[in-house]
Chain A
Amino acid sequence: MTNLIDLTVVDAAAALRRGDITQAELFQAYRDRAAADDTNSFTWLADELTLPAALGNEATPRPGTDTPLAGVPLAIKDLFCIAGVPTASASNLLRGYLPPYTATAVRLLQDAGATVLGKTNQDEFAMGSSNENSAFGPVLNPWDRTRVPGGSSGGSAAAVAAGLAPASIGTDTGGSVRQPAALCGVVGLKPTYGSVSRFGMIAFASSLDQAGPITRNVTDAALLFRAMTGPRDPADATSIGWDSAGELDLPTTERLDGLKIGVPIDLLGEGIEPGVRASFDATLKLAESLGAEIVEVQLPHARHALSAYYLLAPAEASSNLARFDGVRYGNRAEIGDGGLVELYTKTRHDGFGPEVKRRIMLGTYALSSGFYDAYYRRAQQVRTKIVEDFRAAYEQVDLIATPTSPTVAWGLGERTDDPLAMYQADVTTLPFSLAGVPAISIPSGLSEGLPVGFQLAGPAFSEPQILETAYALEQQIGFDGAAAFDGPAPAGKEQG
């Protein structure tokens, strides 16, 4: 009998279709592992293959094995609303909240035959790069349980890395899919902004948030991406509608002849760890050996991306989070006779964690009368410049590559007292987020026993080319993702 846990999504779906395994046994195998999880990756686990009826919604149907995902269970980042399933975006303010609706991305996956295994831990409202800002406690990195898994989709990445789920979905605002994928040694794709509906995703920063798959390999990422992306969602005015994405072929490319990959020197300055740099350079060499041409590109405004991002994202967040006031849903604080102001103040004081409060204050300040021009408007101008940088760069090259994260996973608690150091973790992912363009992180090897991520990005709607290229590199790298399925990998074992 096959070891169920070793099957990728594509393999598991094929096995289900052939009848080699059943949906119930696959679900139960992961359910048992997830229930015994010691990385704190989950905030909620399903009891059954199908979700029960809730709040006027019918029970989810048991998927047919003739569907693309054939009943494979997926781990879903907590911030995706699923009807009747606890959805808190890892915040105490929403702990216990049961939405009456299901996010479009989740529904599309269900329509494609996915089942829901559980909700995964994350940074509260997706604000963080280490998954330490969670009301459910930090997630531990499966490769080394004294280290962070990255964030904000830390639980989604850790669950896949630890073999607790065949695959998961997360959201990426400034790197929240790619960076934890890199730190956990799995694949994470952030699609073009607008290609996956945001309906039902509890918003962090509306103009940046984008859902994407976190998987063991590139082929699974392509499969999930294909299922999540679809026609324009009438419930999301920023949804673009990409009908043909549903017909995307799973990647098969072996050679990269004629492909031009740009390396932005502006993003490879100080702060990149030597081990990360070495893995990155080795991967570029592999690309060359497959026929790709590596050239330097200029992204002159990319170094301002961090500053612009930490104005724009908090500004939008400060507004998006205003609805959490304890009046209509969520957890309302007990109050004395202080009336409405006390209700608001105490509910938000008790409900939000420190990082969320910090960003609400940052964002409120940036939007305040008298500061708007100097901060918000200026940051928007920088964003426009960055978009132009990418446009110019993609006239010279097909794709752009950088390390996904300047460092490997760091120790728990190491940066929690230094928000600026924490924010630096996203320095190489942020520019792509601001430009709204797609990017993938694939594991390129280990440094000091910890995974290193290789980021590959392209112009809007270039996901097919990104996935094909990433697939070709993945075959050459030969990363052993299953090494962390049963506790930390043996120390010092270098890969790739």
Chain B
Amino acid sequence: MSAAYEPVIGLEIHVQLATKTKMFCGCELVFGDPPNTHTCPVCLGMPGILPVVNAEAIRLGLMIGLAFEGELAKRLVFHRKSYFYPDLPKGYQISQFDEPLVAGGRLGTVGLERVHVEEDAAKLTHLGASGRIGGSTASVVDYNRGGTPLAEIVTLPEIHSAEEASSWLRLLRETLRQLGVSDVNMEEGSLRCDANISIRPVGDTTLGTKTELKNMNSFRFIEQGINAEIARQIALVESGERVQQETLHFDPRTGSITSLRSKEGSHDYRYFPEPDMPPVPVPEELLTSAVAARDAVELPLQREARYRDELGLHAESARLLAFRPPLAAYFERVAAVEAKQQDETRLQQLANWIGNDLVRRLDAAEIADPADSKVEPAALAGVVDLVLAKTINRKAGEQVLDVLVAEGGDPAAIVEAKGLAAVGGGDELRPIVQEALDANPDVAEKLRSGNMKPIGAIVGHVMKQTKGRADGGEVTRITREILGL
């Protein structure tokens, strides 16, 4: 990318809310059922039928607003957004316009413009080679999805790279998942993302003409798509052309970007207040319930900050645990186990053992939640404490963990049974180090001259003699002592 331009990106995310029923009718929401098996006169837009709002969808929308610390609307106002398409049975979508459920707010590094609630369109499938409407031989509609409650989350244009966009979106997804307001499954379409993209010369503060990149259904495609569009815009500008405001489609198979501009020109959605649902105050009990549900959850950013600032974990560990609530819950149980050494070092070690060693083993065994494994929190704490006390070395600790994952049990007993106790202390280890130095005079010579590089040979020799039970750090310390360094 040319360094002369700064990309400016805003995201629009549609999230299907995890209600049992649709936004304006009682149809059940089930993903993957046969087409048109969850429909009724309301969501088919039949004559004389009226919408009635699903209070649960509003409650979940309010929870999102609370999580973002946005300003919550005092009243519920719906508008009709009109356009003709077979995925929209009424010829208009019931959405919100000038009074969204949530105004403003922030999540991490990115400010939010608004969150509004609306109904999802039905699912159109275009039959034919391309899978898109152009060139298709027929299109079929599944109204099961039509009327699903959606929250549309609109960010401010405060994102400046594709990588930042995708990393923020991961944060958003995890936040919404932990709030429990959505399944946030991109493959099933319960989280969909559009990006508004423009570029400007570095240092400029005005916004360039933006394009809208539609419906990218994986983090990888989002990054690829945004990068491709940034590159396209830079190429345009550098060749003296101008960016046209338009809606674009990114094809991940070819990496190409095509215009979705319809023949009729730009849409006029003819927004006007939904007369079938006049404005009503947001019910007090709905708000109270949303506040309680929001407060019951420690969101990823909150947890990350607490682990980092209060427990002193490294940022990376704090984030890893914050993004994986089962790991975090397990971590907290392990950390609560009584130990002689209760300090930040131990907590960080616990986080490392859980975040790396344990997770790797559990992933291999396809166990998502450590609480479902055979490794009792006290056992994991036991392993780490044995390593910290140098009773066993790290390598041996990993062997103990292997046993724990496979069979469970008590770490001390496993150490005993497998003879994994470290060959510890100067008395036991010193003769073996001396022997290693004697056996490698050339290495000893280099070390004596201050070149510590070949120390590995000494450690290796000792490890071989002790069957790996020596502590590498200890070997180095004794070597230095013997050589008077």
Q: A-side interface residues toward B, CB under 8 Å?
A: 79-81, 87, 89, 94, 97, 99-101, 103, 198-203, 205-207, 234-238, 315-316, 318-319, 321-325, 327-329, 340, 344, 364, 367-369, 372, 376
Contact = CB atoms under 8 A, between A and B. Distances in A.
A237 B92 contact: no
A337 to B, nearest CB: 11
Interface of B: 41, 44-53, 80, 82, 84-86, 89-92, 139, 141, 268, 270-272, 275-278
A254 to B, nearest CB: 40
Given A237-B53, A323-B90, A81 B47 contact: yes
Contact of B48 (A99, A316, A321): A99
Nearest to A194: B278
A319 B52 contact: no
Nearest to B78: A237
Nearest to B139: A340
Contacts of B47: 81, 87, 89, 94, 97, 99, 202-203, 323-324, 329
A316 B85 CA distance: 19
Given A81-B48, A322-B82, A325-B84, A206 B276 contact: yes
A199 B47 CA distance: 10
B53 to A, nearest CB: 7
Contact of A235 (B46, B50, B92, B278): B50
Contacts of B86: 325, 327, 340
A380 B51 CA distance: 22
A364 B50 contact: no
6 contacts: A97-B47, A238-B277, A323-B46, A325-B84, A329-B46, A368-B270
Contact of B278 (A89, A238, A322): A238
The 7 A-B pairs of least Cβ separation, nearest first, read A322-B91, A206-B275, A367-B270, A207-B275, A323-B45, A202-B47, A202-B48
Contact of A315 (B48, B268, B272): B272
B41 A100 contact: yes
A30 B41 CA distance: 33
A80 B49 CA distance: 11
Nearest to A125: B47
B276 A325 contact: no
Given A100-B41, A237-B278, A198 B50 contact: yes
Most buried by A among B48, B50, B275: B48
Nearest to A237: B277
A322 B268 contact: no
A364 B270 contact: yes
A99 B89 CA distance: 16
Contacts of A316: 275
Contact of A322 (B41, B46, B90, B271): B90
Given A322-B82, A328-B45, A376-B272, A199 B92 contact: no
Given A319-B82, A323-B91, A340-B86, A201 B272 contact: no
Nearest to A203: B48
A489 B50 CA distance: 43
A179 to B, nearest CB: 22
A324 B46 CA distance: 9
Contacts of B53: 237
Nearest to A329: B46
Nearest to B52: A237
B55 to A, nearest CB: 12
A375 B270 CA distance: 12
Given A322-B82, A328-B45, A235 B52 contact: yes
Nearest to A88: B47
B287 to A, nearest CB: 19
Nearest to B41: A101
A347 to B, nearest CB: 11
A101 B40 CA distance: 11
Contacts of B48: 79-81, 87, 99, 101, 103, 198-203
Contact of B270 (A89, A101, A319): A319
A319 B50 contact: no
A344 B271 CA distance: 21
A199 B49 contact: yes
Given A206-B276, A328-B45, A322 B84 contact: yes
Contacts of A207: 275, 278
Given A329-B46, A367-B270, A323 B89 contact: yes
Contacts of B52: 234-237
Tell me which of A203, A315, A327 has the highest count of chain B C-beta atoms within 10 A of its own C-beta: A327
Given A103-B48, A198-B50, A205-B275, 4 more contacts: A203-B48, A206-B276, A319-B270, A323-B47
B276 A238 contact: yes
Residue among A235, A368, A372 facing the most chain B CB atoms (10 A cut-off): A235
Contacts of B90: 322-323
A4 to B, nearest CB: 32
Residue among B84, B85, B271 with most chain A CB within 10 A:
B84
Contacts of A319: 80, 82, 91-92, 270, 272
A158 B277 CA distance: 34
A364 B359 CA distance: 59
B85 to A, nearest CB: 8
Residue with the greatest number of chain B CB neighbours at <10 A, chosen from A203, A319, A340, A364: A319
Contacts of A376: 272
Nearest to B50: A236
Contacts of B49: 101, 199-200
Contact of B50 (A237, A315, A325, A340): A237
A26 B275 CA distance: 41
A164 B315 CA distance: 83
Contacts of B141: 327
A97 B44 CA distance: 15
Nearest to A239: B50
A108 B277 CA distance: 22
Contact of B46 (A99, A236, A318): A99
Contacts of A202: 47-48
Contacts of B271: 367, 372
Given A199-B49, A200-B48, A237-B50, A322 B92 contact: yes
Nearest to B81: A319
A368 B271 CA distance: 8
B366 to A, nearest CB: 45
Nearest to B264: A341
A376 B275 CA distance: 13
Contacts of B51: 237
Nearest to B53: A237
A77 to B, nearest CB: 12
A468 B41 CA distance: 40
A336 to B, nearest CB: 15
A360 to B, nearest CB: 11
A321 B90 CA distance: 8
Nearest to A233: B50
A492 to B, nearest CB: 44
A486 B90 CA distance: 45
Nearest to B266: A369
A369 B272 CA distance: 11
A81 B92 CA distance: 22
A205 B50 CA distance: 13
Contacts of A315: 272
A257 B141 CA distance: 65
B410 to A, nearest CB: 61
Nearest to B276: A206
Given A319-B80, A322-B90, A322-B91, A328 B272 contact: no
Contacts of B268: 368-369
Contacts of B91: 319, 321-323, 325
A235 B276 CA distance: 11
A377 to B, nearest CB: 9
A233 to B, nearest CB: 9
A340 B141 CA distance: 13
Contacts of B50: 198-199, 235-238
B44 A328 contact: yes
Contacts of B277: 237-238
Given A319-B91, A323-B89, A369 B270 contact: yes
